[in-house]
Amino acid sequence: MPTLKSNGIRLAYETAGDPKDVPILLIMGLGMQLIAWPDDFVEGLVEQGFYVIRFDNRDCGLSTKFDHAGTPNLWLTYLKSLLRWPIKTAYTLDDMAEDARGVLRALGVAKAHVVGTSMGGMIAQIMAAKYPDRILSLTAIMSSSGRRGLPGPTREARAVMMRRPRNSRDMEAIIEHTANIYKVIGSPAYPTPEKQLRDNIARAIRRNVSGAGIARQMVAVAAAGDLTARLEAIRVPSLVIHGAADPLIPVACGIDVARHISGARLEIIEGMGHDLPDQLIERLLALIDAHAHGKMEADPTPRLFEKQ
């Protein structure tokens, strides 16, 4: 796996398609490696004429780890967030946005469409606000503005995210733990078959696993706070996609993102949770294709896509 230097660290990356085609940068979410982007999704973007760039965020996958910063206390971080106390972080989402910009710079890409999911959507939002000259369009999937007062995860989703595997050294225990997370936060109308789910998890574990890295990323998200002022500064064409059944980042969060970006288009998908199920790849590709090629009219009014 090739790596590049960005923002003083090493980031693992992968590209697909013709470098002469229009670049599109994919930014994954919390603790998710670049291989979490479904192969059919990446191949579909290539078929649409994009040069696809994806990478492992810092503290994840094969990119630089920040183990010297230790493992944060997530419950203490959650309490500080509720009380609006300062949160000490190993790095910030702004640092991660700078990482992403550095990926483009290292690959000689002047401008790119940017697609981010979950935490990656927040990173993409920061990029669009800070570096509009590098962004052709923004697509934020199942993301949030972080504004205080928005609904948080369901009780079940919060609990499963805070649990640890029975044995962090046993692969089967980690697979079971992670599968339980996906079953809680995934799309109820588009479930991933059990074997496929476990195979995907095993593949990710064999490539790399860093529980402490995930915790440090969670703290960075908590410390980011309210991004609405930045969203209001975004002037690049923006598309917000959110699942109506998302238990981790409720749909109200996606609606709020679209509401604060001038001219944003909002697409709500019925039955979609906090994942990228195979059954919705075609729909997501169609939305991104239309958006990136200027075939969408700006419209913050939710457009509901229902299961056929």
Along the chain (308 residues), what's the average pLDDT of each consecutive run of 10 residues?
Answer: 95 98 97 97 98 98 96 85 85 98 97 98 98 97 95 93 82 93 96 96 94 93 95 97 97 97 96 98 96 73 51
pLDDT at 75: 79
Question: Residue 275 is encoded by which pair of tokens?
Answer: 């994942």
Q: What is the DSSP string of 198-210?
A: HHHHHHHHHH---
pLDDT at 302: 54
pLDDT at 73: 86
CA 81 to chain centre: 21
CA 264 to chain centre: 18
Q: What is the DSSP string of 92-152?
A: -HHHHHHHHHHHHHHTT-S-EEEEEETHHHHHHHHHHHH-GGGEEEEEEES-----TTS--
Distances (CA, A) of 251 to 30, 72, 79, 258, 291: 18, 28, 24, 11, 20
Was domain 3-305 assigned CATH 3.40.50.1820? Answer: yes
pLDDT at 79: 84
Longest dimension (CA), the chain: 50
